[in-house]
Copies of this chain bind each other. A is one copy, B any other.
Amino acid sequence: MTERSSARRRRAARSERSVGALSQRPWQTVTYRNAPLEIVSADEIESIHRAALTILEEIGLKVLSAEARAAFAGAGFDVDEGSEGVRFERALVEALVAKAPPRFTLHARNPARNLEIAADRAVFVSVGGPAYCMDLDKGRRDGSFEEMCDFLRLVQSLEVLHQEGGGGFEALDRPAETRHLDLYLAQIRLLDKNWQPWGLGRQQAVDALEMAAIMLGKDLEALAETPVFTCVINTNSPLQLDIPMAEGLMAMAAHGQAVIVTPFTLSGAMSPITLAGALAQQHAEAMAGIALAQIVRPGAPVLYGGFTSNVDMKTGAPAFGTPEYVQAAQVSGQLARRLGLPFRSSNVTAANTNDAQAAYESQMALWGAMTGQANLIMHAAGWLGGGLTASFEKLIIDAEMLQMMAAAQQPLQVDEDTLALDALREVGPAGHFFGTAHTMARYEEAFYAPLLSNWDNYDSWVERGQVTAEQRANQIWKQLLTEYEQPPLDPAIDEALADYVARRKHQVHGA
């Protein structure tokens, strides 16, 4: 066979791929085995770090929460109540950030699903935050509670997803004030994996904490020693922290839970048009948020969130999965490691449908995250349309990509067995390896088995209906829902959770 002349010959080979059984890699978190890609020098990282400290010291942040301002003032920072401004003495910021631990364990209701958040690990998280849901059958629409539950069932079913990211999309058929309670109860019932709560305001955080305590049979004090939550807190870039975010951050940190401080730094809009400037701003805002968590509870776990991308300067539209996005993720990893903290990145695209663009932008984002050695990858599966949409098909497409990224991190074995000199001696020139003992002993587990990819030759693919990746993804999520089994939960815990939700709904809505 050759690259050129084999074409006609290979055409004849018919593939007889079995249909029906879905291939998944077993549950396994990812361990990085090589050094991260560091695209700027240690000196340049120091320049960005120093610039961030200068931003904090000279410009500071506007902090809308009086409680947060009081916390900063109590820690010795310069607070101006009139302008709501806080300025940060650099040595003090650095000392506070240094209190955050480099690694911690996140607890799930199934201990086999506990997660290590650490420099050499990666955790893949399903999408959280979109307003809409979308599938190939019904298009983009407001999501219902039942649809949200289906999305959660799929996140539970996909072994490559290590953490659930906050509901996928909002259940807009439930009242806004207590929607988070419906979500938390569904997350606990439908998943035995770790899940993310919402972090807007104190009440969303407190309800999550109370329900997690019931879930694990602990009180809140014990919960603080066994963190269960990573909660995304976006600063309001540039250089502002609003009340709901500050409250969510403080409530989570007070209870020993991990906040993922993630500035929303779109270069050219909320941040300087130069990536170095946007990253300096990201670094400043992240350090301020992390410092607040450490004031509230020294040693509270945190993650350093990087979300820097850019806007299209002609239209203002945000861009995702671009070369700038890749570089920002790689440098953000360097900045997080400069602080000795775990790093959060994302899998993002601006595409509105599951076409080639959705895949290549997501791949760029994922490779940026993995070469930058992100330790938690948010929106790793299901994100579409700049994050406004959670797509059922994208969930499956991303799961395939994540499985491949994870498999590519597995060590390549080089030893006498794998060098296979005996097999080569047996086969010799112009033979083939299909029937050798070396092959027969290994063929079942030898290679990555795809969940979604179709490797049929063209003629078979045409005969079988020219099914695209998006159409196959549609079939796969339906099959997974059919096969889904709800993980068992102690009925007493289930009842206690239901009681808590009923009581809280009664408080909000009345009888």
| Contact status of A324 and B62, CB under 8 A, knowing A240-B429, A387-B3 | no
In the complex, the answer to whether A458 meets B389 with C-beta atoms within 8 Å is yes
The stretch of A117-125, A402-410, A476-484 in contact with B is: A402-410
The interface stretch among A43-51, A150-158, A503-511 is: A43-51
Q: Across the interface, do A351 and B238 meet the contact criterion of CB distance under 8 Å? A: no
Known contacts A85-B429, A387-B3, A388-B10; A412 and B360 CB within 8 A of each other: no
Q: Is A29 an interface residue (CB 8 A)?
A: no
Asked whether, in the complex, the Cβ of B386 is within 8 Å of the Cβ of A310, the reply is: no
Instruction: Tell me how many residues of A have a C-beta within 8 Å of chain B.
Output: 157
- The oligomer's copy count stands at 2
In the complex, the answer to whether A469 meets B2 with C-beta atoms within 8 Å is no
Whether the pair A387, B200 counts as a contact (CB closer than 8 A) is: no
Q: Is A355 in the interface zone, CB < 8 Å from B?
A: yes
Question: Is A7's CB under 8 angstroms from B323's CB?
Answer: no
Interface check A105, CB cutoff 8 A: no
User: A57 to B448, alpha carbons, bound, how many Å?
Assistant: 33
Q: Is the CB of A429 within 8 A of B469?
A: no
Check A327 against B412 for contact (C-beta < 8 Å).
yes
Residue of B nearest to A427 (CB): B238
* Chain B nearest Cβ from A469, distance in angstroms: 4
- Does residue A221 face the partner (Cβ distance < 8 Å to B)? no
**Is A375 on the interface with B (CB-CB < 8 A)?**
no
- Between A and B, 25 residue pairs with Cβ closer than 8 Å are A1-B234, A4-B166, A7-B387, A10-B318, A17-B315, A47-B415, A59-B428, A85-B429, A238-B433, A240-B429, A267-B446, A272-B423, A276-B412, A276-B419, A313-B446, A319-B447, A319-B448, A326-B404, A326-B408, A352-B456, A352-B462, A355-B359, A356-B397, A360-B400, A363-B363
